Amino acid sequence: MEEFNILEHNFVPKHSVLNKKEIADLLKQFNISIRQLPRIFANDPVVKALNAEKGAVLKIVRKSKSAKEAIFYRVVVDA
């Protein structure tokens, strides 16, 4: 079967990995530690597709009924 990139699938919202500076800014913006972010397992297909390491933070732009677009951040943790 042909390999396909799940990130391009219509039902998968846009995921991107934040860099160090962006993470620091994010944590500062909400005044939280990295442990207080919502989590995502390292064995999640999206994390594998992005090659994200443990401790990386993903920015997810989802479609939202109420706000058109909603931004979420999730930190990669061990399964």
Partner 1 sequence: MAEISKKIDTITFGLLSSDDVKRLSHVKVVTPELYDKEGYPVDGGLMDTRMGVIDPGLTCRTCGEKLKDCSGHFGYIELARPIIHVKYIRVILDLLRSTCKDCGRILLDDVKINSHKEYLDSLDKKDILSRRKRTKLIRDSLKNIRKCPHCKEKQYTIKIEKPTIFTENDKRITPIEIKARLEKIQGVDIELLGFNNEHSNPSSTILTLLFIPPVTMRPSITLESGERSEDDLTHKLGDIVRINQRLFENINAGAPEVIVEDLWDLLQYHITTYYDNTISDVPPARHRSGQPLKTLTERIKSKEGRFRYNLAGKRVNFAARTVVSPDPEIEFNEVGIPKQVAMDLTVPERINQWNMERLKKFIERGPKTYPGSNYVVRPDGKKKKITDETKEQLLEELQPGFIIERHLMDGDVAIFNRQPSLHKMSIMCHKIRVIAGRSFRLNPAVCHPYNADFDGDEMNLHIPQTEEARAEAETLMQVQTQLISPKHGLNVIGCVEDSVSGNYLLSKQIVLEKDEAIHLLMSIGMEDSSKFKKLKAQVTGKEIFSVLLPKTLNFVSKNRADEEVVIKDGELIKGNLDSNIIGEEGGTLIRKLHKDYGDEKTLSILSMIFKLGIKALELYGFSIGIKDIDLEEIIVEKIRQVMNDTNREVKNLISKYHDNELETMPSKTIEETLELMILQLLNRVRNRVGELIADNANPNNPTIIMANAGAKGNILNLGMMSALVGQQALRGKRIEKGYDKRTLALFKQGELSPKSKGFIETPFREGLDPMEFFFGAMTGRDSLMDTALRTPKSGYLYRRLSNALQDLKIEYDYTVRDANKTVIQFKYGEDGIDVAKSEKGTINIRNLIREVTGK
β-sheet with 39-41: strand ranges across = 14-17, 57-64, 68-77, 39-41
Q: Does 79 interact with partner 1 (rule: CB under 8 A)?
A: no
Within 22-41, the residues that bind partner 1 by CB under 8 A are: 30-32, 35-38
Helix (H) or strand (E) holding 29: helix 20-30
Interface mask (CB under 8 A) for partner 1, residues 37-76, using x and -? xx-------------------------xxxx--xxxx---
Coil vs helix vs strand at 30:
helix
Q: Interface residues with partner 1 (CB under 8 A)? A: 30-32, 35-38, 64-67, 70-73
